[in-house]
Chains A and B, each alone.
Chain A
Amino acid sequence: MKRRTLIGTAAATAVAPKAFAQGPTEKVRKLNLYSWPQAAFPQSYQAAQLIAQQWRQLGLEVEVKPLQRQAQTQLIWFSRDKWDVTMWRMVGRPERSDPDEFLYSLYYSAYAEKGYNFIGYINPEYDKLAEKQRTQLDKEERRKTAFQMQEIINRDQPQAFLVHPKYVTAFNKAVFKEDTVVNQQGIGIRNIWTFLTIQPLGAQKDLIINSNETINATNPLYIGGAVDSWVTDLVWDRIMRIGPDGMPRPWAAESVNWVDDKTVEIKLRPGMKWHDGKPVTIDDVIFSFEAPAGTKAPMYKPFVTDIAAMEKVGDMGLRFKLKSVNTTFLTASLAKINLIPKHIWEPVLKDLADKPETAEQLKEVSKIGSGPFKLVRWAPTEEIVLEKFPEHFNAPKIDRWIMRIVPNAEATLGMLKKGEINFLGMFGGDVDVLAKFAKDNPDIATRTEVDIGFEYVAFNNRRPPFDDVAFRRALSLAIDRRLMVSAAWQDYAIPANSHVSPVLSYWHDPAVDSMKTGLADAKKILQDAGYRVVGGKLYYPVGKQEKLTTE
């Protein structure tokens, strides 16, 4: 009901289409707006419908075309000149707490052909800033650059940001002490800090969490899927970890210091042990950073390519010499590379050396790490069981961490109620149902967090009229963000206009939040740029020709 009223208001406030000018012209072709199917992602599909409605009032012919996720990825990612506009999303991950990944990769021109800049935004000014922020070790200076970059994107609107979604997770507060969960900025309570500090109240000492995806692999040298990293995170330690505040902090190291702008020195924490009882040494650390450098762990290789050399400093110290100045080294490398035992992996990698296979294809992968949990059992489509490693320097309070694979979203609520799970790590169903469920079940506590990731409409900047800033701005201004939040995301989101989420408060530029939207403004921009509406249809400025067909 609420939804319908809102749509009604939006339509009523729209100014009736009026001709900007008359004369012989070239009509803008029909646009296909690709989206996920309604069943797969109802919010995004609803948003696409609303956006199409608003764009039609500019005189555009728009059709919403739902595509299965794989087919959509195939088109958008691998046929980059064959589409005009699509719904898209970037998801939040702990390592994205450093804004570099989004600031750099999304709009860097060298990534336009094959990489993350699939929209084909090319701007040398932006490229320079993207490189610059990587070299600015002074945080304040880097922040200024990050603000400049957000302002450029705000000005150019290479795509239209819609919302940063809010995620709801839940746990049973009759089983766990309520104030012992930890919220991680932009991630929520489903994070390693919670799993380490959460305190059982009674006899149930197992944390049982759900996932709707199966785990593909538990391999410290391979990332097989999103959920895989929940597990590798707990079983294998890293030199640093992203803290609840989003900043990297020393973990397996006692200290991490910049010696100069290309040298980082770490001191290993004393007394650490592998799950097989052997001590963790500085040689293990060196080995862990050398292992991905060859050809045997291609997925982790990018995180070590910046290392020029490693030098031991005493028994417990290690210096990383970098090839270039790189502020993201701590987040992208030290907090990313899993520490693996040399005594187990050296022979394995040696054995692989003259074979075509990589460490990703190993049939038997050693589960020995040094992390706070040991991996004891894994049945891919059923569950994975981790046990507390009591000798860890930050040993968890729970005895076991069990993840159950539950593809049926509604069943997860039944399980939560009955104690078959006691921590709702993800919920694929309607958020309102979850909210009502929590209200009816006083033992269930929910937590909501704004995501680092965002939902947006990607414009193909390669294809006219999207190569025109005025056109993109107009299309972006025509989208009512409050309508997106309330009608499409049912208030489980906040409006977005930046690739740096407001939850990353230090890096987010508040100046870009004040974008004024509205159809009248959108029409004015088009009119000023020479676009015309004739007979209710939008036409290019004089002299510009339509060379493309709808795809």
Chain B
Amino acid sequence: MRLVLERFTHNALALLAVTTILFFMFRLMPGTPLAAFISENLNADQQQAMLEQFGLDKPMWQQYFIYLGNLVQGEMGLSFFQRRPVTTILLEVLPNSLILTLTSLIIAYIFGVLAGAWLAWKRGSWIERAAVPAVLATRAAPEFWIGMVLLAVLSFNAGWFPSGGASSPGLAYTSNWQRIASWDYVHHLALPVLTLALYLQGLPLLLMRSNMLEVMHEEFVTMARMKGFSEWRIVIGHAARNALLPVVTAFALGVGLSMGGNVVIETVFSWPGIGRLLVQAVSVHDYPLAQGAFLMIALVLALMNFVADLLYMVLDPRVSHGRKG
């Protein structure tokens, strides 16, 4: 329990640091949000009024404490441009980002783990010689390139998938749940998920493969062989279970990382997620929205980090035992 608390505090402190850095980073960046409002009708007085509206006329340290105070109450302020609460804007698109990320990760990791185990088992065969470079290639290829190729082939030419967005033009749903559960949404989700999954599968696959190779030489595997178990049972039941540990950590961290890293995929597929919101907010100096989006990503990352810690304690008793000793 002490350990859980310790890890929790650790993550909370990291978040506070992120918040602080974000706050000052945006304000120290050259440029002002006023630049986007340039118009012949905006005179000096109106510009001043706008700065006051945005709260940018106060000294920076004062702005910072106001910001922190609001944050503690769960209030992230109003977007300068959309004039709506940042929390509302983020929560509108968060489900889309989570669904895209989680679906891709799950597919990538299930595939990666199984394929990695299989490739380890097939060590030395021609399959392995062909598959490993192929995996490395998909991992090295830029996401936008994979995305554009898939779009061109499967959407523009074959016409199997839509070219962008999260639902067909003009479709109305009674609730967000109904929409997410609809065939139309899944159909739109397919290509972005495929792209992201292709990009993500390399890590668990290679990780699993090398872990398996290590584990396969351990005594308990030899023992299982001596017991006369089938190869498949040895791979899945004995070796894979033990090789899985680092993959679990990678998965948890992957959730957080790819939340923020979806900017490219979201742009290529016009997917309404946090990444696109973030790029836009940064480019027009919409500080509250940009901070909010980054913070949301940091929050997910910290949370998943924490979950990974907990999982580790459960999966590998040595972690907590070592501490106690």
Task: List residues of A whose CB falls within 8 A of some B CB.
Answer: 69-71, 73-74, 77-78, 101, 105, 111, 114-116, 206, 208, 214, 216-217, 219, 222, 224-225, 298-299, 302-303, 356-358, 360-363, 377, 379-383, 385, 400, 402, 404-408, 410-411, 413-415, 417-418, 420-421
Inter-subunit contact A70/B84 (CB<8 Å): no
Inter-subunit contact A406/B165 (CB<8 Å): yes
Compute how far the CA of A380 lies from the CA of B169 in the bound complex, rounded to whole angstroms: 14
Q: Which residues does chain B contribute within 8 Å of A116, judged by CB atoms? A: 40
For residue B170, CB closer than 8 A to chain A, the reply is yes
Q: Which residues does chain A contribute within 8 Å of B164, judged by CB atoms? A: 404, 406, 408, 411, 414-415, 420
Compute how far the CA of A222 lies from the CA of B269 in the bound complex, rounded to whole angstroms: 30
Inter-subunit contact A411/B270 (CB<8 Å): yes
Compute how far the CA of A354 lies from the CA of B151 in the bound complex, rounded to whole angstroms: 53
Partner of B35, one of A74, A114, A418: A74
Inter-subunit contact B40/A101 (CB<8 Å): yes
Knowing A299-B41, A406-B165 are in contact, say whether A71-B53 is a contact too (CB < 8 A).
Answer: no
Q: Which residues does chain A contribute within 8 Å of B32, judged by CB atoms? A: 74, 78
Partner of B277, one of A363, A377, A381, A404: A381
Residue of B nearest to A298 (CB): B46
Inter-subunit contact A418/B155 (CB<8 Å): yes
- 24 A–B contacts, CB within 8 A, in A order: A70-B36, A73-B35, A74-B30, A74-B32, A77-B35, A225-B36, A361-B53, A379-B92, A381-B92, A382-B166, A383-B170, A404-B164, A406-B270, A407-B270, A408-B269, A410-B151, A411-B163, A411-B268, A411-B269, A414-B155, A414-B163, A417-B156, A418-B163, A420-B162
Inter-subunit contact B276/A407 (CB<8 Å): yes
Inter-subunit contact B272/A382 (CB<8 Å): yes
CB distance from B229 to the nearest CB of A (A): 51
Compute how far the CA of A360 lies from the CA of B39 in the bound complex, rounded to whole angstroms: 16
Knowing A383-B170, A385-B170, A420-B163 are in contact, say whether A105-B40 is a contact too (CB < 8 A).
Answer: yes
Q: Which residues does chain A contribute within 8 Å of B163, judged by CB atoms? A: 411, 414-415, 418, 420
Q: Which residues does chain A contribute within 8 Å of B172, judged by CB atoms? A: 377, 385
Which 7 residue pairs across A and B have the least CB separation, nearest first?
A414-B156, A414-B163, A73-B35, A381-B272, A302-B41, A116-B40, A70-B31
Inter-subunit contact A71/B38 (CB<8 Å): no
CB distance from B185 to the nearest CB of A (A): 12
Q: Which residues does chain A contribute within 8 Å of B155, judged by CB atoms? A: 414, 418
Question: Using a CB-CB cutoff of 8 Å, which residues 30-75 of chain B contact chain A?
Answer: 30-32, 34-36, 38-44, 46-47, 49-50, 53
Partner of B159, one of A71, A115, A418: A418
Q: Which residues does chain A contribute within 8 Å of B162, judged by CB atoms? A: 418, 420
Q: Which of B119-127, B216-224, B278-286 contacts the other chain?
A: B278-286
Question: Using a CB-CB cutoff of 8 Å, which residues 253-286 of chain B contact chain A?
Answer: 267-270, 272, 276-277, 280, 283-285
Partner of A225, one of B78, B81, B167: B81
Q: Which residues does chain A contribute within 8 Å of B174, judged by CB atoms? A: none
Knowing A73-B35, A404-B270 are in contact, say whether A418-B156 is a contact too (CB < 8 A).
Answer: yes
Number of A-B contacts (CB under 8 A): 138
Inter-subunit contact A74/B89 (CB<8 Å): no
Compute how far the CA of A47 lies from the CA of B269 in the bound complex, rounded to whole angstroms: 32
Using an 8 Å CB-CB cutoff, how does the interface string of B85-124 with A read, 1 for contact, 0 for none? 1000100110000000000000000000000000000000
Knowing A74-B35, A114-B43, A298-B49 are in contact, say whether A414-B151 is a contact too (CB < 8 A).
Answer: yes
CB distance from B160 to the nearest CB of A (A): 10
Inter-subunit contact B268/A408 (CB<8 Å): yes
Most buried by B among A101, A415, A421: A415
Using an 8 Å CB-CB cutoff, how does the interface string of B159-201 with A read, 1 for contact, 0 for none? 1001111111110100000000000000000000000000000
Knowing A70-B283, A70-B284 are in contact, say whether A405-B49 is a contact too (CB < 8 A).
Answer: no
Most buried by B among A298, A356, A381: A381
Compute how far the CA of A111 lies from the CA of B40 in the bound complex, rounded to whole angstroms: 8
Q: Which residues does chain B contribute within 8 Å of A115, judged by CB atoms? A: 40, 43
Inter-subunit contact B272/A379 (CB<8 Å): yes
Q: Which residues does chain A contribute within 8 Å of B34, judged by CB atoms? A: 78
Knowing A206-B169, A224-B81, A381-B276 are in contact, say whether A73-B31 is a contact too (CB < 8 A).
Answer: yes
Partner of A421, one of B50, B81, B92, B169: B169
Knowing A71-B30, A421-B169 are in contact, say whether A224-B83 is a contact too (CB < 8 A).
Answer: yes
Q: Which residues does chain B contribute within 8 Å of A400, judged by CB atoms? A: 170
Residue of A nearest to B168 (CB): A420
Compute how far the CA of A73 lies from the CA of B82 in the bound complex, rounded to whole angstroms: 21
Q: Which residues does chain B contribute within 8 Å of A78, judged by CB atoms? A: 32, 34-35
Knowing A111-B40, A216-B81, A361-B78 are in contact, say whether A382-B35 is a contact too (CB < 8 A).
Answer: no
Known: A77-B38, A224-B82. 16 other contacts (CB 8 A): A70-B35, A74-B30, A116-B40, A214-B280, A216-B83, A217-B81, A225-B36, A363-B83, A380-B89, A381-B92, A382-B272, A410-B148, A414-B152, A414-B163, A418-B159, A420-B163
Inter-subunit contact B285/A408 (CB<8 Å): no
Compute how far the CA of A74 lies from the CA of B42 in the bound complex, rounded to whole angstroms: 15
Inter-subunit contact A208/B169 (CB<8 Å): yes
Knowing A73-B35, A407-B270 are in contact, say whether A402-B92 is a contact too (CB < 8 A).
Answer: no
Compute how far the CA of A299 lies from the CA of B269 in the bound complex, rounded to whole angstroms: 34
Q: Which residues does chain B contribute within 8 Å of A377, judged by CB atoms? A: 172
Q: Which residues does chain A contribute within 8 Å of B270, judged by CB atoms? A: 404-408, 411
CB distance from B174 to the nearest CB of A (A): 12
Inter-subunit contact A407/B267 (CB<8 Å): yes
Residue of A nearest to B82 (CB): A216
Inter-subunit contact A408/B267 (CB<8 Å): yes
Inter-subunit contact A383/B165 (CB<8 Å): yes
CB distance from A270 to the nearest CB of B (A): 33
Residue of B nearest to A413 (CB): B156
CB distance from B178 to the nearest CB of A (A): 14
Q: Which residues does chain A contribute within 8 Å of B168, judged by CB atoms? A: 420
Residue of B nearest to A208 (CB): B169
Compute how far the CA of A32 lies from the CA of B71 in the bound complex, rounded to whole angstroms: 43
Residue of B nearest to A222 (CB): B83
Inter-subunit contact B165/A404 (CB<8 Å): yes
CB distance from A341 to the nearest CB of B (A): 21
Compute how far the CA of A206 lies from the CA of B172 in the bound complex, rounded to whole angstroms: 14
Residue of B nearest to A73 (CB): B35
Q: Which residues does chain B contribute within 8 Å of A206, judged by CB atoms? A: 169-170
CB distance from A438 to the nearest CB of B (A): 15
Inter-subunit contact B83/A114 (CB<8 Å): no
Using an 8 Å CB-CB cutoff, how does the interface string of B128-166 with A read, 1 for contact, 0 for none? 000000000000000000001001100110010011111
Partner of B84, one of A71, A74, A363, A382: A363
Compute how far the CA of A101 lies from the CA of B41 in the bound complex, rounded to whole angstroms: 11
Residue of B nearest to A387 (CB): B170
Most buried by A among B89, B148, B155, B167: B155
CB distance from A239 to the nearest CB of B (A): 19
Compute how far the CA of A413 lies from the CA of B164 in the bound complex, rounded to whole angstroms: 11
Compute how far the CA of A298 lies from the CA of B85 in the bound complex, rounded to whole angstroms: 21
Residue of A nearest to B38 (CB): A77
Knowing A377-B172, A411-B270, A418-B159 are in contact, say whether A361-B83 is a contact too (CB < 8 A).
Answer: yes
CB distance from A118 to the nearest CB of B (A): 9
Inter-subunit contact B38/A420 (CB<8 Å): no
Using an 8 Å CB-CB cutoff, how does the interface string of B10-47 with A read, 1 for contact, 0 for none? 00000000000000000000111011101111111011
Inter-subunit contact B83/A380 (CB<8 Å): no
Compute how far the CA of A111 lies from the CA of B42 in the bound complex, rounded to whole angstroms: 11
Q: Which residues does chain A contribute within 8 Å of B89, judged by CB atoms? A: 380
Inter-subunit contact A73/B38 (CB<8 Å): yes
CB distance from B243 to the nearest CB of A (A): 39
Partner of B53, one of A225, A358, A415: A358
Compute how far the CA of A382 lies from the CA of B270 in the bound complex, rounded to whole angstroms: 8
CB distance from A68 to the nearest CB of B (A): 8
Compute how far the CA of A298 lies from the CA of B42 in the bound complex, rounded to whole angstroms: 9
